[in-house]
Structure 1
Amino acid sequence: MAAKRNTRLEALLAEFGYTHEQLAETVNRTAEDRFGNPANCTDRHVRRWIAGEVQWPWPRYLLPLQHIFGRSPQDMGFVPRKSSRVPPPADRSTGVSDQHAIPRREFIAVGLLATLSLELIPSAGRLGTSDVERIRAIVPTLYKYDHALGGGALHDAASQALRRVQYAVNHCTYGDRVERLLYSAMGDLAASAGWFAYDAGRQADATNLYNEALQAGMLSGDGMLQARVWSNLAMQARLLDRDREALRIGRAAVETRQAKSDAWLMALFHCRQAVGHARTGDRTRAQRSLARAETAYERTQGQPAAWLSFLTPAELTGLAGAAHQALGQYRRAEQLTASALQMLEPRFERNRVYYTAQYAQALLDDGDIEHAAAQACGAVALAGRVQSERVRGKLGDLRLHFQRHAQVPAAAHFLEQTRQTGA
């Protein structure tokens, strides 16, 4: 009898974004980290499981698989023999402070909502400042994973957390001071959920969430929140090719009292305005905004808010590269983007993909097709590790530009590689 393909396991790989090689590596890491025994799993094992050639793997594989996917062996499509012993559910008690790195897909699957401790947010009774602090803690927790996982991994969890908070705000009682704090915390969460939706390519959801955040900012009198939302709306307008609108919204963000009094905000807003001016061909204003961003960043002190944790010298340099790219100054864009990649910390995986693609584009525009193709292949290899439609869109645009050079072997290789993988 021909082997029956394990479509359940195959679907799980697609859902969690694993290749055969990546799943084998995660099985080995999980077996070593969680159970103290090596599994020696390879991509060949994974292919045989999916093909149905092995209907019931050895326990050294099943235990890590249960831990990774949060499913029983049967729910993963495996069929026990009469003599098979079903392994017990894997111990999934992994907290944020675990000494081992948490596997990204495992965390997305089962760990994130538990880590947010939404069940501790009351649904009835009176709310106090301790409840507000508990709600405030949700956003920093989410942003610990945003830079590595991408918005596609976090949008649903953030939206579910927001619904829980909205229910509490509408069904509990509280005093005037707590009310203002609640709306500020709820707006912070709505703005974060909007960012995740934006990064995930869900622009209608992002717009609705930004509007909720803006309303909450007005009700709470939180000017910092309002400035943040204006800036994010400007980014969204730019993504949708509404550059003039983006500049007008960005100017409103720069002119807020909070931006003028917060060097972190001012540095970010001026950098984003520089890119906007560059996209409309205004070189003088773009260069002026870059200079102002640098000056503001030199005045920053302490630690930024959680949502601003990406704002590092690498980010500022990368945005400067984007501005020079838009102005057609490709050699300078190459230099700046290469510097940004060198400075970028390992935790910023999504930005590494993004700026690698930007670097490839600058090289391509400058005529260095072979080097550009090598960088583009590197960006695609990294892209499978994050869930960001924004990044996928940038890679798609890059692929379109390479099609103009399809007669060059390096470009043809990149196009064929991405055609086969669907990247």
Structure 2
Amino acid sequence: MAASPHSPNSTFRHLRGQHSPAEFAALVRRSAREIGETVSCDARYIGRVESGEIRCPNYAYERVFLHMFPGRSLADLGFSPREAVRGRAARSGPFSALTQRPHTTPTTPVHITPTLTTGSGSGPGSRFRESDVLRRAFMAGGSVTVAAATIGLTLLGDSRRIPARVGAAEAAAVEDAVRQIRLLDDRHGADALYRKAAEPLRTAYALLDAGAARQSTQDRLHAGAGELAVSVGWLAHDSGRLDDARSHYAEALATARVSGDAGLEAHAFSNMAFLALDGGRSREAVRAAQAGRRAARSLGSPRLLSLLDLREAGAWAGLDDRKACEESLARAHTEFSRGGSGSDPEWMSFFGEAELESLEARCWAALGEYARAARHARRAADLQGPSFARNLALYTAELAGYLAHAGAPDEAAWAGGRVLDLLAEIQSTRIRSMLATTADTLAPYRRSPRVAAFLDRHAAV
């Protein structure tokens, strides 16, 4: 029977058996790898499940748990139905859930409701609680008819006034907004999310300014608002709004510095390094990656250090410094080989072997070794599980570009066609720009039937 909102999940505790929480968390991570998922499960997460704090796992954890216990449903594992945890119908208007919730006391649990609005602009549009339904809606509607996919961050009461003192419910809502944005971005890309995700960010910082009665809640608000700023910054980055992204990342970094949050500081610097490299500022990218590594040293997460080393490697490649790039790559592989740990940040769920291969591929491409880059990009695409649909599209688009530059036009056209298939459900200016560049590179090879088919299809899209 599913756990009630305030009762411990004794069913899940029974399933853990004689394993310690840390041992069981290791089993969860291993099971995730078996099905191509990446979860940062640790003893603390297991404790939150067993205490009843996590009433229903996110979609990645759901797939892992059902893989671990075949034939059982989430209810059989002691969880509440997802719709009971997350579902709450929006109020009037297509995006009113961004700033309103039903009139409640400040201690009432606050929920995040994903909403999808179709492109006609009339009426409230369609709203869906489940990400899989969202995915199908994107696929059915296509990129032309989908105007926005957004997060409903229901933090405020009907008065729309910031409470005099913020409580744990509001802090939890900010944290859940971060998870929901990441979930939708993984599946659909950033373009349709960015504009509407900015409103929850403003609300989160207004709550932070209002202050909380307890220091622990204030710390959660700092961390949550900062992570939300990074997430919204990434949506800006991926949708081609680089100046907006720079501003959001700076806001996250300032929040980290004020609160002394080394994890948030490392995250902000990691994204700033990525953004600087995309903007052609490789020297700045080196400094940001190195600063992120300094912040991360005390966190006990080899995977985080590996990611920052890869950011630095890409920056050295951008500066055409092969020796420094190879040294950074070697450090990245060494840290990655140490495996995951309970200290890995939750936001790093995307960083597995596939992402490592992709980031290394970018290094070799920047150094002009496109055939070598293509080998790594192919491995990245092969390793990427279907739950990260955006990353699968990204890795395949990278592969197409590298193959085109490596003198393999037919293979590049095949990969480009695969990206077009994936773009039926992905909204990413970054990926579309990469594919357009590949199409330009392949234009001289139009005499090839496969290349011609790809170019015609790309032009039509």
Indicate whether the TM-score tops 0.5: yes
Q: Give CA-to-partner distance per residue, 1:343-388, whole Å, 9 cap, x none.
A: 1100122222211122122222222211212212222332242111
The residue number in structure 1 matching 2:354 is: 314
119, 122, 129: which one aligns with 1:95: 129
Q: Which moved more, 1:175-184 or 1:277-286?
A: 175-184
SS of residue paired to 1:118 = coil
Q: Does 1:185 align with 2:224?
A: yes
The residue number in structure 2 matching 1:161 is: 200
151, 154, 157: which one aligns with 1:113: 151
Q: Give CA-to-partner distance per residue, 1:55-77, whole Å, 9 cap, x none.
A: xxxxxxxxxxxx985699x948x
Closer, same or farther: CA 71–417 of 1 in aligned 2, 3 Å: closer
Q: Does 1:134 align with 2:167?
A: no
Q: Is the 8 A contact 1:166 1:186 kept in 2?
A: yes
Q: Which has the larger radius of gyration?
A: 1
Letter in 2 for 1:385: E
Whole-Å separation in 2 of the counterparts to 1:319 and 1:172: 40
Closer, same or farther: CA 69–234 of 1 in aligned 2, 3 Å: closer
Superposition pairs of residues 295-310 of structure 1, within 5 angstroms: 295-299=334-338, 300-302=340-342, 304-310=344-350
Q: Give CA-to-partner distance per residue, 1:72-130, whole Å, 9 cap, x none.
A: 9x948xxxxxxxxxxxx9995x43488x675354998787434x433479722212344
Superposition pairs of residues 372-411 of structure 1, within 5 angstroms: 372-406=412-446, 408-411=448-451
Whole-Å separation in 2 of the counterparts to 1:112 and 1:202: 17
Whole-Å separation in 2 of the counterparts to 1:325 and 1:332: 8
Whole-Å separation in 2 of the counterparts to 1:109 and 1:296: 42
Q: Is the 8 A contact 2:240 2:429 kept in 1?
A: yes
Q: Which moved more, 1:169-178 or 1:377-386?
A: 169-178
CA RMSD of aligned residues (A): 3.1
Closer, same or farther: CA 71–257 of 1 in aligned 2, 3 Å: closer
SS of residue paired to 1:152 = coil
Closer, same or farther: CA 381–130 of 1 in aligned 2, 3 Å: closer
Q: Give CA-to-partner distance per residue, 1:218-257, whole Å, 9 cap, x none.
A: 1111111111111111111111112222122222222224
Whole-Å separation in 2 of the counterparts to 1:231 and 1:314: 18
SS of residue paired to 2:192 = helix
The residue number in structure 1 matching 2:285 is: 246
Superposition pairs of residues 220-259 of structure 1, within 5 angstroms: 220-258=259-297
Q: Is the 8 A contact 1:253 1:259 kept in 2?
A: no
The residue number in structure 2 matching 1:170 is: 209
SS of residue paired to 1:325 = helix
The residue number in structure 2 matching 1:199 is: 238
Q: Does 1:327 align with 2:364?
A: no
The residue number in structure 1 matching 2:164 is: 125
Q: Is the 8 A contact 1:224 1:258 kept in 2?
A: no
306, 313, 321: which one aligns with 1:274: 313
Q: Is the 8 A contact 1:318 1:337 kept in 2?
A: yes
Q: Which moved more, 1:250-259 or 1:272-281?
A: 250-259
The residue number in structure 1 matching 2:85 is: none
SS of residue paired to 1:194 = helix
The residue number in structure 1 matching 2:10 is: none
Q: Which moved more, 1:288-297 or 1:311-320?
A: 288-297
Closer, same or farther: CA 91–280 of 1 in aligned 2, 3 Å: closer
Q: Give the deviation of 1:399 after TM superposition.
A: 2.0
Q: Give CA-to-partner distance per residue, 1:126-166, whole Å, 9 cap, x none.
A: 12344323322221122111111111122223211111122
Whole-Å separation in 1 of the counterparts to 2:221 and 2:125: 38
Q: Is the 8 A contact 1:122 1:168 kept in 2?
A: no
Closer, same or farther: CA 122–347 of 1 in aligned 2, 3 Å: farther
SS of residue paired to 1:113 = strand
Q: Is the 8 A contact 1:361 1:372 kept in 2?
A: yes
Q: Does 1:143 align with 2:182?
A: yes
Q: Does 1:342 align with 2:342?
A: no
Letter in 1 for 2:240: G
Whole-Å separation in 2 of the counterparts to 1:243 and 1:189: 26
Whole-Å separation in 2 of the counterparts to 1:110 and 1:333: 34
Query: Number of residue pairs matched?
Result: 339
Letter in 1 for 2:358: G
Q: Is the 8 A contact 1:183 1:217 kept in 2?
A: yes
Q: Is the 8 A contact 1:139 1:306 kept in 2?
A: no
Closer, same or farther: CA 156–177 of 1 in aligned 2, 3 Å: same
**Sequence identity percentage:** 30
Letter in 2 for 1:245: E
Q: Give the deviation of 1:321 after TM superposition.
A: 1.9
Whole-Å separation in 2 of the counterparts to 1:206 and 1:315: 21
Q: Does 1:369 align with 2:406?
A: no
Q: Which moved more, 1:284-293 or 1:120-129?
A: 120-129
Whole-Å separation in 2 of the counterparts to 1:68 and 1:129: 28
Q: Is the 8 A contact 1:227 1:259 kept in 2?
A: no
Q: Give CA-to-partner distance per residue, 1:277-306, whole Å, 9 cap, x none.
A: 223222222222222112212222248434
Q: Is the 8 A contact 1:194 1:210 kept in 2?
A: yes
The residue number in structure 1 matching 2:397 is: 357
Structure 1, unmatched stretches of 5+, are 1-66, 77-88
Closer, same or farther: CA 134–316 of 1 in aligned 2, 3 Å: same
Q: Which moved more, 1:379-388 or 1:196-205?
A: 379-388
The residue number in structure 2 matching 1:289 is: 328
Whole-Å separation in 2 of the counterparts to 1:262 and 1:220: 20
